[in-house]
Structure 1
Amino acid sequence: MTRDDVLTYIKTLHGHQRRDQLVALRSLFTWAKRNGLLFRNPTSRIKVGQYEYGVLQPLVLAQVGRSVAAATTPATRLILALAAVHAARVAQIGMLMLDDVDLGNRRLTIAGRVRPLDDLTLKLLLDWLEHRRNRWPSTANLHLLINNQTATKTSRASNHRISTSMRGQDATLERLRVDRQLEEALTHGPDPLRLAEVFGLDEKTAMRHADSARQLLEAAAEQKFREGRQ
């Protein structure tokens, strides 16, 4: 049995089943080599890994469309853009301050990272700020997003209030955030270093997104090749 044989076999397994089978094979072949039954252990350079995640799948247009349709206020439209365009987490959106918005230079600072303001987000920001001034002209709350409860305080809006408009949708704020990161990897290449730099992802998350994008691109190329041969 060769290393390729082992790889071919474990590709048919997933999750804990893959991990358990690979651990068993490594133990078996280590024993066989130690007792002179094998010259080379075919599993010696195959990593067991902690957990095998499924391939992240991009959202379809209809799913995104339903979430866009559900965003009917200036606040929810801005929140949707922050998740879908800038891949901001719900908590990060809630912690945004007015000082994080630099309209003159078209920049937005999210979780300490400066991002350029695209035309859509800029328009939605201007719409929200105008609504905010008209609705709560005397508020002392310096958070970007406020509501009836927080306008008379200085605290941020809760995660529940921020995400509630997308509850029940396929394209939740979290899925929109992940979809944006996956779209970046599909468009500019599955490079985990780039993903970490653009979105501030940790190494493990960036590698997972890059790996999913790589598999999706390979599957698309294979499908195109098959169609070309027909």
Structure 2
Amino acid sequence: MFQIRRDFARWVPEQPDARQHNPWLAWARHTAHRLGESRGWPRRTRVRADQALIVMLTGHAEGDLIRHSELSPALRPRGLSTEHTAEILDHIGVLLDDRPSPFEQWLEPKLAGLAPGIRRDVEHWTRLLHDGGPRSKARDTTTVSGYLNRIRPVLLEWSTRYDHLREVTRDDILNHLSTIHGSQRQHTLIALRSLFGGAKRNGTIFKNPTIRIRVGQRQDGVLQPLQPEHITNAVAAVTSPADRLTLALAAVHAARPGAIRRLQLDDLDIGNRRLTIDGRTRPLDELTLQAALDWLHHRRHRWPNTANPHLLINKRTALETGPVSKNSVATTALHGQTATIERLRIDRQLEEALVHGPDPLHLASIFGLDEKTAIRYADSARALLETSAESLNAVTASVDDQR
């Protein structure tokens, strides 16, 4: 009639007989041994994983499932890892992942306050963006959240007057767009077009009110180079070998944070002094080479048995095979600095355009940029060079007049 959850907190270590005749515990221990061997777990990690398995599987019977929500209350007070335990239990097929989806946790508050009819269409549209469909690819979570966050204020305002999106008129959209300008207006209209276009395809509205409303041509500003003191401050801020290597990869090779996280050990060819970033091989300069050697020495000393193939690892990923998190790529060390990893990457590409000429084809070939991005860097470099030439001519004319 109802389900009783096991009390794992009642486990006591003086139960050797129950453990010796438990096939599930034996299977889990074998699985843990295989994972530990393949990932280079140190002895302490293996011992603690075994302790966690004893806690969770003592008394386990055929057909039992262990919920993910039960791991933390049973293991955290003992200082045992829930992540490793969950992975092992999942391998042997006894884990029930009952954690709420992060997307669901984010979406529910965002839909709060919307009229029921509007909420229904917005929820369907947001889920379609996130999950994809027969005729559409799934979008990145950042894109989905950006779309909904951009139009949520106007959706809340419409919900005070309307019950359904079909009641929203072209004038309503134009009135809202008249209150915002620049890139904010463009992004809002793009999101509204996507929302009403999806509702029109689903048949929940009769007419798309965003039709024939022009987005307008976006005018990108001129990219500006970093000042020498900004770069000096950034160099002084990074102290760890991993952060210094990250800084070199961004400032010298214009590597994006995602590309830095994806770098594998095999991408670094020290003997031939070559570096491969996202499939593009380039020469390895002296600065990056020295930073890489310092990092590899630190990595071997700190995690000698790790099996993680990624170049950059930390104390958590050293026991796994995945990349470090986004927040691990020198973000803490450069917090508050003008020369962030992204700004250093932009500055490097702009420097290439200034030194070797504003040629989009050259930039695309060196850094793997798409056509529009390469043209933007070339245009910015051309504008900076023209401004510099005008300033030089003005100084020369002033000197001639004084003579």
Please indicate the TM-score interval, normalised by the length of the shorter structure.
Answer: 0.7 to 0.9
Aligned match of 1:95 in 262, 265, 270?
A: 262
Answer 1 or 2: higher relative contact order, Cα 8 Å, separation at least 6. Answer: 1
| Alignment correspondent of 1:224 | 392
The amino acid that maps onto 1:163 is A
Deviation per CA, 1:143-177: give whole Å up to 9, x if none: 00001111011110011111322222100000000
| Alignment correspondent of 2:352 | 184
Q: Percent identity over the alignment?
A: 63
| Alignment correspondent of 1:199 | 367
State how 1:54-69 maps to structure 2 within 5 Å.
54-69=221-236
Task: Give the secondary structure class of the aligned counterpart of 1:85.
Answer: helix
- What RMSD over aligned residues (CA atoms) do the two structures have, in Å? 1.5
Partners of 1:218 and 1:106 lie apart in 2 by: 37
Pairs aligned (count): 186
Partners of 1:49 and 1:191 lie apart in 2 by: 27
2:288 is equivalent to residue 126 of structure 1: no
The amino acid that maps onto 2:289 is L
Segments of 4+ moved more than 2 angstroms: none
Conservation of the 8 A alpha-carbon contact between 2:360 and 2:371: yes
Task: Give the secondary structure class of the aligned counterpart of 2:291.
Answer: helix
Conservation of the 8 A alpha-carbon contact between 1:141 and 1:152: yes
The amino acid that maps onto 2:383 is Q
Conservation of the 8 A alpha-carbon contact between 1:59 and 1:171: yes
Deviation per CA, 1:162-205: give whole Å up to 9, x if none: 13222221000000000000000000000011000000001010
| Alignment correspondent of 2:328 | 161
Partners of 1:206 and 1:124 lie apart in 2 by: 28
Partners of 2:326 and 2:384 lie apart in 1 by: 32
Aligned match of 1:75 in 217, 242, 246?
A: 242
Aligned match of 2:283 in 113, 116, 139?
A: 116
Task: Give the secondary structure class of the aligned counterpart of 1:151.
Answer: helix
Partners of 2:308 and 2:336 lie apart in 1 by: 30
Partners of 2:226 and 2:237 lie apart in 1 by: 16
The amino acid that maps onto 1:74 is P
TM-aligned CA distance change 1:144 to 1:184, over 3 Å = same
Aligned match of 1:149 in 316, 335, 349?
A: 316
Aligned match of 1:210 in 369, 378, 382?
A: 378
Conservation of the 8 A alpha-carbon contact between 1:90 and 1:163: no
Task: Give the secondary structure class of the aligned counterpart of 2:316.
Answer: coil
Partners of 1:147 and 1:50 lie apart in 2 by: 44
Task: Give the secondary structure class of the aligned counterpart of 1:91.
Answer: helix
TM-score, length-scaled by structure 2: 0.45
Which stretch shifts more, 162-171 or 176-185? 162-171
Partners of 2:270 and 2:323 lie apart in 1 by: 21
| Alignment correspondent of 2:343 | 175
Larger radius of gyration between Structure 1 and Structure 2: 2
Conservation of the 8 A alpha-carbon contact between 1:67 and 1:169: yes
Partners of 1:227 and 1:83 lie apart in 2 by: 35
Deviation per CA, 1:86-110: give whole Å up to 9, x if none: 0000000000000001011100000
Conservation of the 8 A alpha-carbon contact between 1:78 and 1:125: yes
Conservation of the 8 A alpha-carbon contact between 2:274 and 2:283: yes
Task: Give the secondary structure class of the aligned counterpart of 2:281.
Answer: strand
Conservation of the 8 A alpha-carbon contact between 2:247 and 2:330: no
Partners of 2:258 and 2:229 lie apart in 1 by: 26
Aligned match of 1:135 in 302, 325, 328?
A: 302
Partners of 2:230 and 2:252 lie apart in 1 by: 16
Partners of 1:70 and 1:115 lie apart in 2 by: 27
Partners of 1:136 and 1:94 lie apart in 2 by: 18
Partners of 1:187 and 1:167 lie apart in 2 by: 29
Task: Give the secondary structure class of the aligned counterpart of 2:309.
Answer: coil
Q: Which runs of 5+ in 1 are unaligned?
A: 1-14, 17-47
State how 1:26-45 maps to structure 2 within 5 Å.
none
Which stretch shifts more, 158-167 or 208-217? 158-167
2:278 is equivalent to residue 106 of structure 1: no
